[in-house]
Structure 1
Amino acid sequence: MTPLADLIIQRIHATGPITLADYMELCLLHPDHGYYATRDPFGAAGDFTTAPEISQIFGELCGLALGQAWLDQGRPGACTLAEPGPGRGTLMADMRRAMRSVPGMSEAAQTHLIEASPHLRRMQADLLGPVTHLDHVDALPDAPLFLVANEFFDALPIRQFQRVEGGWSERVVTLGPDGLVFALAPPVDLPRQGKIGDVIEDCPAATPIMMAIAGRIAQHGGAAIIVDYGGWNGFGDTFQALRGHQAEHPLAHPGEADLTAHVDFAPLAAAALRAGAQVSRPLHQGAWLLGLGAEARARRLMAAGDQGAMSALRRLTHADEMGHLFKAMAIWPKGAPPVPGFDALRLHANHA
C-alpha cells in the first residue's frame, strides 16, 4: 500500500466515499505524495513517453505553426508564449528553437509555463532558463497568446456516471474488504440519453480552462494548438492508469501511476466558440504533422545523422501508433487566417 493510499483511506473513513475527480486530483497533485510532485514520469525510465520526447519534429512544427500565426496576425508586439502542463520543458525548448527562424518573434514572446509541480518547475527552469511560472491559466497576461497544450487535458480530473434504473449513478471510490474499490452513488437525473450500463464522463475543469484560453485569444489575438488523445462526443469508460509503460488498475498504486482519460473535443470546441474565438475541426495528429512537412524534416534529420528520425516519424504519424488516436485542434481570433494546417469548424448554433 502506498503512503497516499493510507491518506485516502483515512479520508474515506472520516467523510465517506470520494468522487473520481477527487481521487485523480489527490493522486496526481498531492503536495507530498502526488504523482507529478514526486517524480520525472517521462521517457523510457518513467511511465510514459509523449510526442516531444519521441522527436524534436513535433515541437518544431508546433513552434513554426504558431510563428506563422504570429506573422499572419501582423507581428503583434509583446505577446505571451505559453504551455500548460509542460513536462520537462522539451516541447517548449523545441518550439522556441524553431521560432528563432521567425524574425522578431523570439524577442516579442515572453515564456509562461502553467505548472503545479515544484519538482517539474525546477526541471523546466534547468532546461529553459528564466521563465515565468503560473499556477493557473487564468493568471496569463492580457496580451496576444500563443499556446500549445500537449497531453494536458487528458490529465484533468473527470467524473463518471453509469446509467442505472432510475437515472445516472456517479462512480465513487470507497473502501472494500481489501482496500480501495469503485462503487456507485445513489442515482440522479442527468440530461443524457443512454441504456442501462452505459458510462459517460465529464471533465468539470476543462471548460473554464478552454474559456480562459480562447477568451484571451478572441480579445487580444494569438493562437492555440490543443493535442491530445480522444475523440468527438466521447462515450464510455476511458479512465486508465499507466505505470512503467504498462496499464494497471487505477486503484492499485495511488500516487505512483499516471491517471488519465480520453479527451472529448466537442465541449472544448463549444467552449472556445462561446468565448468568441474561431476553432478548427479536430484532425488526426498524423495527418496534421505530415501536412506541415514532418516527413521532409525527418529525412533532413536522418541525412544529418539522426538514424532514428524515420522510426520516430512513424510513431508520431502512423495510424497504428499515435497518428489516429491523438487529435489536434486549433483556436484563433475570428477574422484572422487559420492556424497552419487547420480549417474552421462549422457548428450549428445549438452546439455552441
Structure 2
Amino acid sequence: MSDAPTLPELIDMQIRTTGPMSVATYMGLCLTHPSKGYYKGADPLGAAGDFVTAPEISQMFGELIGFFFVSLWQQMGSPKEFTLLELGPGRGTLMADMLRVACRAEGFRDGLDLRLFETNPALIAEQNARLEPYGPKWIDGFDKVGPGPLLVVANEFFDALPIRQFVRGVDGWHERMVGLSDGKRSFGLSPTPIPASAMPEAVANAEPNSVLEVGLANGEVMTRLARTVSTQGGAILAIDYGYARTQTGETLQGVRRHQYADVLDAPGEVDLSAHVDFEALGAVAAKAGLTVQPLATQGQFLTRMGINDRAKALSGANPGSAADIASAKARLVAPEQMGNLFKAFCAASPGLQPPGFA
C-alpha cells in the first residue's frame, strides 16, 4: 500500500484536476490543510522555528496590552462577566503576560471567560501549560463566546489569512492564479478581465502591472467579530504589519527558518503572510457600528502605553539585564525595527476611549 500523498502532491493533483487555483485557495491549503497545513505542524516560533513575534521579544509587550484591556474593562463598568478572546495565541506568552498584570485589577479575574482561537496541537499544549490556571477554552468559531462584553486581541493574526491577488492589465484587472508549467507550480493570470469599476476606487485606474491584494478572509473575520462586539459591547485590538490606506503593492511572502523563501516551494513547510489593509478592516468594523480609532504605529502605541517607564522599572529591579531590556524595547518601538512597520488597530463600542491611540 502506497504512502498517503504529500501536501505538494495534493495541490498539484487538484490543479491538474480542476485547473489553476486562486492565491487565496493556495494559501489556505498551505497554512490550514486539516492534517498537512503549516499551522498543523510543529511550533513555528522562536530561534528554532521560522519567526519571532513581539511577545517573545519582551514581557513588556504583553504587560502593556494587559493594562490596555483593564482600562477598557473599567470603562465598561467592570462587568461581572466578559470574554477575553485571543486569535492565534502562539505559545500563550502574550496572554500570560497580559493576565499577570490585568488580574491585579479587583474583579477582573473573577469575571474572566478566557477563549483562544487556535488550530495547532503543539501550540495548544504550550498555551495550556501557561494559561491553565485561568481556565482557558479553545474555540474553532468566532461566534463561540459568552453573552457578556467581548474583548479581542490579535497579534500577527490577520497577516496570515489568505489573500487574493489581482494584476492590472490593458483590458482590466486579472486575478493571479497558481497553476502548473512544465510540471512545476507557477503563477499565471486568469484570462477573464475584471473591469476597473469593480475594484476599489483608490486603485481602480492604477498603472499597468500593478498588483492589488484583497483580504476577503480578513473582512469575514472582522465582520463576525465586529457584529458581536456591536451587540454585546467591547473592543478589538489588532497589531500587525500593514498599511493605513488601500493601495497597490505585492507583499505576499514566505519565511522559513528566519529567511525569505519562495512561496510556491515546499507547501506546508513555509510560513505565508501578506500585509494587512487596515483601511479595509476599519470600513468593515465601522459598518457594524463600532468606532475605529486613528491607526497608530506599534512604536506610538507602546510609547503612549508607557513602555519607557516600564523599561526603567524593570531595569531598576534587574540592573544586570538593563542592556537586554533596552535592546528589546528598541526592537519593539524603534522606527527602523518593528516600531513603524507594525501598526496598532482598534475598533471599539461607541463611547469607549481606548488608551494608546490619538
Please say whether Structure 1 and Structure 2 have the same fold, judged by a TM-score greater than 0.5: yes
Identify the range of structure 1 (215-224 vs 63-72) with the bigger mean alpha-carbon deviation: 215-224
Encode CA deviations 1:102-150: one digit per residue, 9 max, x unaligned: 1111111110001122332222112211411111212223320111111
Identity %: 43
For 1:8 and 1:282, the matched residues in 2 are separated by 38
For residues 182-228 of structure 1, the C-alpha deviation after alignment (integer angstroms, 9 at most, x for no partner) is 11111222332222101101111111211222222222222221100
The AA in structure 2 aligned to 1:127 is R
Deviates more, 1:216-225 or 1:286-295: 216-225
Residue 308 (structure 2) pairs with residue 295 (structure 1) = yes
2:335: which partner in 1?
Answer: 319
Question: What secondary structure is seen at the aligned counterpart in 1 of 2:143?
Answer: helix
Gaps of 5+ in 2: none
Partner of 1:41: 44
| Paired position in structure 1 for 2:295 | 282
Give 1:178 shift.
5.0
Tell me the SS of whatever aligns to 1:139: coil
- Which of 14, 18, 22 does residue 21 from structure 2 map onto? 18
Question: Any unmatched runs of 5+ in structure 1?
Answer: 344-352
Task: Give the secondary structure class of the aligned counterpart of 1:320.
Answer: helix
Alignment check: 8 A CA contact 2:155 2:240 kept: yes
Q: 1:170 aligns with which of 166, 170, 175?
A: 175
1:20 offset after TM fit, Å? 0.5
**What is residue 188 of structure 1 aligned with on the other side?**
194
* RMSD over aligned Cα atoms: 1.4
Q: Is the 8 A contact 2:253 2:260 kept in 1?
A: yes
Q: Distance in 1 between matches of 2:22 and 2:349?
A: 37
**Could you tell me the TM-score, scaled by structure 1's length?**
0.94
Judge conservation of contact 1:37–1:120 (CA < 8 Å) in 2.
no
| 1:272-316 Cα shifts (integer Å, max 9, x gaps) | 111111110110100110111101111222222234111000000
Partner SS, residue 291 of structure 2 = strand
The separation in 2 between residues aligned to 1:302 and 1:250, in whole angstroms, is 41
Aligned pairs for 1:46-57 within 5 A: 46-57=49-60
> For 1:267, what is the secondary structure of its paired residue?
helix
1:204-283 equivalent positions in 2, closer than 5 A: 204-232=216-244, 233-283=246-296
* TM-score where L is the length of structure 2: 0.92
Tell me, yes or no, if structure 1 residue 152 matches structure 2 residue 157.
Answer: yes
Which amino acid in the other structure matches residue 215 of structure 1? R
| 1:348 counterpart residue number | none
**Distance apart, 1:248 and its partner CA:** 1.4
Amino acid at match of 2:205: Q
Contact 2:113 2:146 in 1 (8 A): no
* Deviating 4+ runs (over 4 angstroms): none
Give the whole-Å Cα distance in 2 for the aligned partners of 1:120 and 1:37.
9
User: 2: CA distance between counterparts of 1:127 and 1:101?
Assistant: 17
Aligned to 1:350: none
* SS across alignment from 2:339: coil
Q: CA deviation at 1:90?
A: 0.9
SS at match of 1:226: strand
Q: Which of 65, 68, 81 is the matching residue for 1:62? A: 65
Instruction: Look up the SS of the partner of 1:47 in the other structure.
Output: coil
Shift in Å, 1:62: 0.6
Q: Which range is displaced more, 278-287 or 178-187?
A: 178-187
Q: Return the letter of the residue paired with 1:317.
A: V
Instruction: From 103, 109, 121, give the equivalent of 1:106.
Output: 109
SS at match of 2:335: coil
Matches of 2:207 and 2:261, distance apart in 1: 28
* CA–CA separation in structure 1 for the residues paired with 2:111 and 2:163: 37
1:19 deviates by 0.7
**Paired residues, number:** 341
Q: Deviations over 1:38-76 (max 9, x none)?
A: 110111111111100101111111111010111111111
SS in 2 for 1:138: coil
1:84/1:148 contact within 8 Å kept = yes
Deviations 1:22-43 (A, max 9, x none): 1111111112221110110111
Deviations 1:80-121 (A, max 9, x none): 011011111111111111102211111111100011223322
- Of residues 77, 83, 89, the one that matches 2:86 is 83
